[in-house]
Chain A
Amino acid sequence: MAYFDYAATSPMPDNVIDAWTSAVHQRGNASATHRDGQKSRLLWEEGRDNIAAAIGALPFDVTLTGSGTEAINLAIKGLFWGRNRTTPDGSAPSELPRPRILTTEAEHHAALDAVHWLVEAEGAIVDFVRVDELGTVDLADLAAKLGDDVALFTTLWVNNEVGTIQPVADMVALADAAGVPVHLDAVAALGYTPIDFANSGLAALSVSAHKAGGPVGVGALAVSRTWAIVPLIHGGSQQRLRSGSLDAAGVYAAGVAAELATADLEAKVTRLTAIRDRLLNGILESVPGAVLRGSHTNRSPGNVHITVPGLDSVSALFLFDEAGHAVSAGSACQAGVQSPSHVLRAMGVDDADGPLRFTIGAGTTEGDVDAVLEILPAIVARATH
């Protein structure tokens, strides 16, 4: 079975599986004082060190969570509450001093729904910054919307649906000048583009282990000490910003995965870009009407997202599945009821243009690409009305 759904989850390499299974033998709660606990703790620390290194952060600034979604929620809600807890003179506000949250309509649901909840329940106001037809943040619009009453700006480093890489340095510069903290959802960025948190000027950055070959159940949030973040989960304070027993084996394995995912990143990006373009060009040559969505020049090396007018994506995915290829349409699905992609809508794409998303990674070969290209035109033709 050829796998083209790395964006949903990335297969765990053998080293990572071995690391996890060996680490899980170590008994002892990583917060206990006895020797067993200390050994578990060491595994956890080593994992955190490696994850921190992979994103250019100091280990102390990295909080381990149960998922990328949790990390994103912690960042957005934590920053919102932190920015609204006190007025500039330090007193408790009677009204929210910074109720506005800037984001885009092309975010992942982990961010969009967290923001939506803050609007419904916590008095936040959301202001959507425009994205263009490639899904790129409109910097002029961002500049116009920044202000004293903005709690934070949150967006994706790499768009998980269409692969567009945002102009991070420019966005941060603008926000910095306005005194507004920036959180980036880097879940689709880890292992596909260099991340240097410490030198980025970002307030917070979220990643997810299983999108980079690690286990499901481990996410991480890097936080700059300048900004106050209110924790989501209270309890035994095993971590400053997050309570819950430390997952020594999971974090250790996630560390091995993060290191593997970012080793020789430049060479990896070159290799993946070539495979990506082989697939993309193959599709554009053989499928009439196929359009690449998202930026081509500022694009994740792991993402091919196309639309075809009149394509029934559900039928196409079924046919690919039958033929042994795991492909996605990239859009959310609540209990089977298809909604058109909010990302594509934000980019102005017509609902009738059916999407197909192929995401690749470390294990993808040219052979995989050639195999899917052989059957792709017929499948698309059959599934198009």
Chain B
Amino acid sequence: MKILAAMSGGVDSAVATARAVEAGHDVTGVHLALSRMPGLFRSGSRGCCTVEDSLDARRAAGMLGIPFYVWDFSEQFTEAVVDDFIAEYAAGRTPNPCMRCNERIKFAALLDKAIDLGFDAVVTGHYANVTTAIDGTPELHRASAWAKDQSYVLGVLTTDQLRHAMFPLGDTPSKTLVREEAERRGLSVANKPDSHDICFIPEGDTRDWLADRIPMESGDIVDTDGKVLGHHDGAQAFTVGQRKGLGLGVPSADGRPRFVLAVKPATNEVVVGVKEDLDIAEIAGERFSWAGNDPIASGIAEPTSDGFTEFACEVQIRAHADPVPAVAFSRGGEVVVVPTEPLNGVATGQTAVIYVGTRVLGQFTIDRTVSATAVLH
């Protein structure tokens, strides 16, 4: 197959590319220039895709003997990922930029361009597996290395996108093995540190970065009765479930830590409560997608007049959270998930990925949450 390998300059994409070459595919490497003003050097492991990263990717491609190009997606990335990130925070929600990037850039803008230029698929260094169902429809599954599994951030991929995606690292049990393989293959990035956090916030300080971009005003931190407990410098910098950085000078009466329950941009308030107040009994969303056959076509749910019947599943609401047993169903245009135990700390805007066994069934953006305790008025 004619493969376009997305090479970030990191060791995962380098080894993924190497495997695609070894499997006999006709591979071309590409580095996505996503930042309008790429820094020259990476400082530590924060952020990604400086000039240095692009040179690392070029070197890896050179060692593998494949053609290499740098393509500029900075304009699309700014619009689809960065601007969305800012807008979501401004609206008091918690965005997931990595999902937007996969959904709109890596497996959309890049994939579209690749297909235009005659490629069959895009390869990335994500840890996930794509298999095929009996009827030929693709399926997305967790990676063999549970600790490294990145199927969550890929949960937003559609059937068509999965048809053109390849994840050569999906079956590798550990990152250590990938690094060893990189060394064996003579790839200079074998010992390069992983990048963490958000690739376009180089210093990792989301709050300061947002403060530069969202007009923030001081406001009140209140408890669930509306009593003012303290002040903040901008509600939009807070996230539901957050405990640190509240700056509440006065300890709570019961001595227990406070958590952010809600961010209200309209009144510029941050509502805090105890841990149990974060318990969520139900999550739902109207914007959903299925990674392959939907629940009805997969044979695990029956159609109803306005959705589908409930089925047992697991739900994961963060990239590194544990999946939680739940039931899912659809009604009135929403996908609804009811976990068997309440979820603790769920923000609207987050993505809920639904798993059935190791298979990613699909995902939805959480629009609506129902508290397990009726605390918020």
Contacts and interface: CB of A to CB of B under 8 A. Distances in A.
Interface of A: 314-315, 318-319, 321, 333-338, 382
Contacts of A334: 38
A321 B67 contact: yes
Report which residue of A314, A315, A336, A382 has the largest number of chain B beta carbons within 10 angstroms of its beta carbon: A336
Interface stretch (B28-36, B143-151, B205-213, B280-288): B28-36
Interface stretch (B69-77, B167-175, B320-328, B345-353): B69-77
A336 B77 CA distance: 14
Interface residues of B, number: 17
Contact of A314 (B35, B50, B67, B71): B71
A336 B72 CA distance: 6
Interface string B104-144: 00000000010011000000000000000000000000000
A318 B69 CA distance: 8
Contact of A336 (B33, B113, B116, B117): B33
A334 B70 CA distance: 10
Interface in B150-191: none
B51 interface: yes
A333 to B, nearest CB: 8
Nearest to A314: B71
Given A336-B31, A337-B35, A315 B72 contact: no
16 contacts: A315-B116, A318-B69, A318-B117, A319-B117, A334-B38, A335-B33, A335-B50, A335-B51, A335-B70, A336-B31, A336-B33, A336-B70, A337-B72, A337-B74, A338-B72, A382-B116
Nearest to A339: B72
Interface in B35-94: 35-36, 38, 50-51, 54, 67, 69-72, 74
Contacts of B74: 337
Contacts of A338: 72
A74 to B, nearest CB: 25
A265 B185 CA distance: 51
A312 B35 CA distance: 19
A72 B31 CA distance: 32
Nearest to B37: A337
A335 B51 CA distance: 6
A262 to B, nearest CB: 36
A190 to B, nearest CB: 30
A337 B113 contact: no
Contacts of B67: 321
A382 B117 CA distance: 8
Contacts of B35: 337
Contacts of A382: 116
Contacts of A336: 31, 33, 38, 54, 70-72
B370 to A, nearest CB: 45
A382 B31 CA distance: 22
B117 to A, nearest CB: 6
B203 to A, nearest CB: 19
B54 A335 contact: yes
Contacts of A333: 70
B117 A337 contact: no
Contacts of B72: 314, 336-338
A335 B74 CA distance: 11
B69 to A, nearest CB: 6
Contacts of B38: 334-337
A315 B113 contact: yes
A315 B51 contact: no
Which interface residue of A319, A321, A337, A338 has the most chain B CB atoms within 10 A? A337
Q: Which of A314, A315, A334, A335 has the most CB of B within 10 A?
A: A335
Contacts of B70: 333, 335-336
A382 B67 CA distance: 21
Contacts of A321: 67
A335 B33 CA distance: 7
B33 A315 contact: no
A381 B50 CA distance: 33
A5 to B, nearest CB: 15
A382 B50 CA distance: 31
Given A335-B70, A336-B31, A336-B72, A315 B117 contact: yes
Nearest to A315: B117
Contacts of B31: 336
A338 B32 CA distance: 12
A92 to B, nearest CB: 37
Given A335-B51, A336-B33, 4 more contacts: A314-B71, A315-B113, A321-B67, A336-B71
Nearest to B35: A337
A321 B72 CA distance: 18
